[in-house]
Amino acid sequence: MKFFTIQTFFALVLASLAGGCVQERAIAPAIQLYAMDCGSIDVDDMKSFSVDGAFAGQSYALVVPCYLIRHAEGDVIWDTGFDQSLADMPGGISGGGFHSSMSARLTDQLQELGLDVNDIEFLAVSHSHPDHAGNAGLFKNSTFIISAAEHAYMFSDEARDNAESFKAYAPLEDARTIQFDDEHDVFGDGRVVIKKLPGHTPGSAVLLLRLTNAGPQLLTGDLITHSAGRRLGAVPVFNTDIEQTRRSIAAFEALAEAQGARVIIQHEPKDFEALPAFPAWLD
Ligand SMILES: [Zn+2]
């Protein structure tokens, strides 16, 4: 018969809870936000980024980040950037006034933290466009969290017809999935909350994080595209529902105000650069 000391017992409990990284997890803050570089989009003319043409003739360099949120109870990926095969094309690709490129693969960046796609417990995307769901299919063993409206949209016949973008997330059709109507609190502690604020696509969402030291953070998805657009409340022409987007922007700004949240506009280079450079994190 084998006897355990009480210390051994707690060490075993901690090890089973933390997946073996007892020491790392025990000293780490409760939650960490990592911003990874998952591409960039140089736009020749920002005309289509506002229905009133406010940005006509302006070029802009957008960033395409992906985020890892490390919580004591699991890792969450929020948005997956461009399909990482783009990183194998040194010149990137051009078309329609957009030049897209990628300097580092998402999986290589995760590897810097000793993580494999199969270590990620939860995958969530703000919406299913190719600059947000480009690598989503790699996370088919994670639990996929998505609004019911976006799930219906991304697996519609119309979406299936768009073979290239559908292929990037098609494996998620068989993934463990949590579908929500208005919002989903990932760990039930209010620290990682996904909120549907539709209009860019039928079920597009934003992410509210409540960090211990840095406080509340609101990640926009594509509800807002860049700082100049936020100042004007701009709605891009390529949104699925312009009036719904206007209501969502108003709700988002009210939420940011009520929470005292820092707003992180995902495609805005200044907001990306203001975050700690990977592999450093915000906590
Ligand atoms: Zn986007």
Each residue's pLDDT expressed in tens, for the chain with a length of 283 residues: 333 334 443 444 444 444 444 444 444 458 999 999 999 999 999 999 999 999 999 999 999 999 999 999 999 999 999 999 999 998 999 999 999 999 999 999 999 999 999 999 999 999 999 999 999 999 999 999 999 999 999 999 999 999 989 999 999 999 999 999 999 999 999 999 999 999 999 999 999 999 999 999 999 999 999 999 999 999 999 999 999 999 999 999 999 999 999 999 999 999 999 999 999 999 9
The rounded Å distance from CA 190 to ligand 1 centre is: 26
How far is 232 from 51, CA to CA, in rounded Å? Answer: 11
**What is the whole-number distance in angstroms between the Cα of residue 132 and the centre of ligand 1?**
6
Q: What are phi and psi of 55, to 5 degrees?
A: -105, 15
Tell me how far apart the alpha carbons of residues 102 and 90 are, in angstroms, rounded to a whole number.
Answer: 8
Ligand 1 center to 150 CA (angstroms): 15
Which phi and psi angles does 39 have, rounded to 5°? 135, 180
Quick one: CA torsion of 6, 10, 15, 21, rounded to 10 degrees? -110
Q: What is the pLDDT of residue 29?
A: 57
7 alpha carbon – ligand 1 mean position (Å): 49
Pairing status of strand 74-78 against strand 60-71: antiparallel
Compute, in angstroms, the gap from residue 215 CA to the centroid of ligand 1. 25
CA of residue 82 to ligand 1 center, whole Å:
10
Alpha carbons 176 and 141: distance in angstroms, whole number: 8
* CA 8 to centroid of ligand 1, rounded, Å: 49
Q: Report how far ligand 1's centroid is from the alpha carbon of 79 (Å).
A: 10
CA of 128 to the centre of ligand 1 (A): 9
How many Å apart are CA 8 and CA 25, to the nearest integer?
17
Domain 6-273: give its CATH superfamily: Ribonuclease Z/Hydroxyacylglutathione hydrolase-like (3.60.15.10)
d(CA 109, CA 135): 13
> 10 Å Cβ neighbour count for 281?
21
C-alpha 52 – ligand 1 centre gap (Å): 20
Q: How far apart are CA 262 and CA 255, in angstroms?
A: 11
Ligand 1 centroid from CA 240, angstroms: 13
Q: What is the 3-state secondary structure (H, E, C) of 159-227?
A: HHHCHHHHHHHHHHHHCCEEEECCEEECCCCCCEEEEECCCCCCCCEEEEEEECCCEEEEECCCCCCCH
Ligand 1 centroid to Cα of residue 127, in Å, is: 8
Give the distance (Å) from ligand 1 centre to CA of residue 279: 23
Domain boundaries, the chain: 6-273
- Smallest Cα–Cα separation from 35: which of 283, 276, 215? 276
282 touches 31 (CB < 8 A):
no
Q: How far is the CA of 73 from the centre of ligand 1 (A)?
A: 28
Distance 130 CA to ligand 1 centre (A): 8
Total-model pTM: 0.89
